[in-house]
Structure 1
Amino acid sequence: MSPEPASSARARAAELSADNGVEGPFKSHHHETYVIPLPGCDGGRGLRVKVRAPRDNVIWFDRRSFVSEEELLRALSGRVARVPDVIDIDVFGTGFQRYIEGRTLGSVYRAGRAIPGACEDQLIETFGQMARMDGRDLPVRRRCDLADGVDEGDSAGFLDRLVHFAEERVYRGNMPLFGDLFHSLGIDGDAFKQLRNWVPGLSSRPFHFLHGDLHRENLILDSEKRVWVIDWELAMLGDPLYDLATHLHLMRYPAVQARRVTDRWAYTVESVRCGASRHWERDLPLVIDFKLAQSVFTDVIRSAMAVAEGDSVLWVARRLRNVLIAGARPLALEQVPSWAQVAAALQRWRLSACL
């Protein structure tokens, strides 16, 4: 039996490195990524870089605001500490994103565990540095207007656009393949009406630059205990509270650390941009509720895809049911199916999809 042909990303990595020291592919939802020594230099000057290509038929669960992550990283250089630099090599006519050597924060301190104070300090520093940028000074091509058509400071409108994206692009856009599964789990389009009723009237806050996906797997701890922030593809301009809510939702800090990070965030962004933390005490629970609701739609699809790829239906069903329970209130789900019912729905979907 002949081996499968190399993907275009793998072939490109092999070509650039003379097939010497190609590592990968690395786990990534949106890209097939390999790491190679810096091309065109003896020994790569001790640096390694990423070679990647977009995966085919990828489902995007979040809005993208910037055309190129590499362009964005160049613009962030000197403004946000510990972000990967982009190395340009004229002979190749392209820039290579430097691979940060180290371990993900999640591999050292798993979700639910506290992170050390030094790591927390660096994250708070990053939030403060991002708060200094309102987007007008970022020479980066955008996929959309500064805030997707929302007026500056319109936090309620900003959140509504995120709800709209989840409804139109994640839910309705994937109905042909996943509609029966959503229905089996008791989820329909009325959930978005309920969600909008649940999260109305956020206070106005001045918009600034946001990472959009700041969690343990996007934080790299190097040998000197520095925390590097990677994966800026979901960066955007918008309500500062969205970045904090996303961070807290994904990090799953112990309660004491979550409260401390929140207080430190509020003090830091407010000291940089007046009003950036306005009425966070009222609004933060609402934005976190949006993240819990959003996870229902993304995780139903991700769970189905995981089952299709051979993951245990029983294990996936347990995890998905926890997501449904967490998102039940903001979506006004009258009844969350049992673990066995979730497992049965996933199994039926796999069989009906012929996967």
Structure 2
Amino acid sequence: MTSQLTGVRQRADELVGESGVVTGPLKGYHHETYVLTMPGETRIVKLREPRERILWFDRRCFRSEEALLRALNGRISRIPVIHDVEGMALQVFIEGRTLKSRPWGDRRIPQPIHGQIVDLFRELARVTPDTLEVERSCEAQDRAEDGDCDDFLDRLIVFVEQQVYEKNFPAFGRLFTELGLHPEAFVHLRKNVSGLVRRDFCLLHADLHRENFVLDPHNRLWSIDWELAMLGDPLYDLATHLYLMSYPAEQAQRMAGDWAEAVGGVRPDSVRGWADDLGRILDFKRAQSVFTDVIRLSLSLRDGSNINWVRLPSAVRKLQTIMTAAAVPLGLAEIPSRSRIAGALVRYAGEGA
């Protein structure tokens, strides 16, 4: 166990004392998380801290997730409540099962859950930049003007280009190059996704996937992990949700239509041109995934001083599928064969093993 893990566990033990209970760590990539049952308390809370040496691929717009959740209390239904424990703001643990663990086939979700997700989008549309007083982590000059969806998306492209591609190029540059991922890809990406119409901005969760939805014992849907929330183009939230959920085509189409009706009912100017622009933003999500997954999948093949050969076939298939989906927006001349992808991944993994 690393010193960080020991430190977080020690803090958890100190908070609960001898008569409390600590459960964990919970499964999670970015954080080490423990569930604390406090003595004399009915609430169960979470203590979590970022793991060391974890790569982060997403822009953060609020300094404190807990401060954001406090501000959203009463405005967004079924989000974690903040409970103060010895001067620390901790999130109350939501008991239930994530949508990822539910046994539904072909990635379809039941209609009652579909409706609750649509309700969340409706509530998000009501939280506008001028009504949310929470400290931001980006300077005012670095934010897109309210309604400028083209600039909003371009700033996300800049983040991927600078913080994912360029920042990691010293370590992953050879792998990027062998897979045909050159800097010119970002020129093609901007050309293929530009031209968005103006839409009024609102609060976005920006990470609504199956593991961030918890269904409680009463079949109420809770949304968790708000650390990637931002203020911006509401259509970006829908596109991200559709991309991450991988709905069957019919349900994806229905979700998009229901989103437009719900958000448009709150703020008509927030859905202007959505049907034409949705594909462009989905193309950005596909392109973004290429750069992040090249890094993640290559790292997943390192198993201490060895290469994890068992994981290699699935990593190769997944990466080829992702690159195929993003070929047009990135202007890729060709998609590497599986043997080429496998060779590049093995060479990278072998260098670090």
TM-score (norm 1): 0.93
TM superposition shift of 1:200: 1.3
Distance 1:136 1:247, change over 3 A: same
What SS does structure 2 have at the residue aligned with 1:34?
strand
Distance 1:49 1:174, change over 3 A: same
Counterpart residue number, 1:235: 229
| 4+ residue runs over 6 A deviation | none
Q: Which amino acid aligns with 1:34?
A: Y
The match for 1:299 among 293, 301, 306 is 293
The match for 2:261 among 259, 267, 272 is 267
The match for 2:283 among 243, 266, 289 is 289
TM superposition shift of 1:196: 0.6
Correspondence 1:78 to 2:74: yes
**Which stretch of structure 1 is more off in the superposition, 137-146 or 331-340?**
137-146
C-alpha distance in 2, partners of 1:18/1:301? 41
TM superposition shift of 1:341: 1.6
Counterpart residue number, 1:192: 186
Counterpart residue number, 1:161: 155
What SS does structure 1 have at the residue aligned with 2:90?
strand
Distance 1:87 1:278, change over 3 A: same
TM superposition shift of 1:146: 5.9
Counterpart residue number, 1:345: 344
* Unaligned stretches of 5+ residues in structure 1: none
TM superposition shift of 1:274: 2.1
Distance 1:80 1:195, change over 3 A: same
Distance 1:70 1:294, change over 3 A: same
What SS does structure 2 have at the residue aligned with 1:83?
coil
TM superposition shift of 1:110: 6.0
**Which stretch of structure 1 is more off in the superposition, 312-321 or 191-200?**
312-321
Deviations 1:247-286 (A, max 9, x none): 0001111111111111110011111012111111110001
C-alpha distance in 1, partners of 2:241/2:80? 20
Among all aligned residue pairs of Structure 1 and Structure 2, give the percentage whose two residues are the same amino acid: 47
Counterpart residue number, 2:109: 115
C-alpha distance in 1, partners of 2:325/2:338? 14
TM superposition shift of 1:241: 0.6
C-alpha distance in 1, partners of 2:295/2:108? 30
Q: Which amino acid aligns with 2:185?
A: A
Counterpart residue number, 1:8: 7
Deviations 1:147-174 (A, max 9, x none): 8331111000111101000000010010
**Residues 153 and 239, structure 1, Cα contact 8 Å, conserved in 2:** yes
What SS does structure 2 have at the residue aligned with 1:186?
coil
The match for 1:216 among 189, 210, 220 is 210
**1:315-326 counterparts in 2 under 5 A?**
315-326=314-325
* Unaligned stretches of 5+ residues in structure 2: none
Aligned residues: 346
TM superposition shift of 1:322: 1.1
**Residues 149 and 199, structure 2, Cα contact 8 Å, conserved in 1:** yes
**Residues 179 and 341, structure 2, Cα contact 8 Å, conserved in 1:** yes
C-alpha distance in 2, partners of 1:147/1:221? 39
Counterpart residue number, 2:25: 25
The match for 1:257 among 236, 244, 251 is 251
Deviations 1:110-167 (A, max 9, x none): 6842111110111111000010011222221110146833111100011110100000
**1:121-136 counterparts in 2 under 5 A?**
121-136=115-130
**Residues 153 and 205, structure 1, Cα contact 8 Å, conserved in 2:** yes
TM superposition shift of 1:30: 2.0
**Which stretch of structure 1 is more off in the superposition, 334-343 or 283-292?**
334-343
What SS does structure 2 have at the residue aligned with 1:88?
strand
Counterpart residue number, 1:246: 240
**Residues 73 and 85, structure 1, Cα contact 8 Å, conserved in 2:** yes
Distance 1:176 1:107, change over 3 A: same
The match for 1:57 among 53, 62, 83 is 53
Q: Which amino acid aligns with 2:302?
A: A
Counterpart residue number, 1:313: 312
Deviations 1:163-202 (A, max 9, x none): 0000000100100111111111111111000101111110
**Which stretch of structure 1 is more off in the superposition, 296-305 or 313-322?**
313-322
Deviations 1:4-46 (A, max 9, x none): 6652111111222236532222222321111111x3x42x31x
C-alpha distance in 1, partners of 2:251/2:70? 32
C-alpha distance in 1, partners of 2:336/2:290? 13
Q: Which amino acid aligns with 1:320?
A: L
TM superposition shift of 1:293: 0.4
Distance 1:264 1:146, change over 3 A: farther
C-alpha distance in 1, partners of 2:296/2:21? 32
Counterpart residue number, 1:67: 63
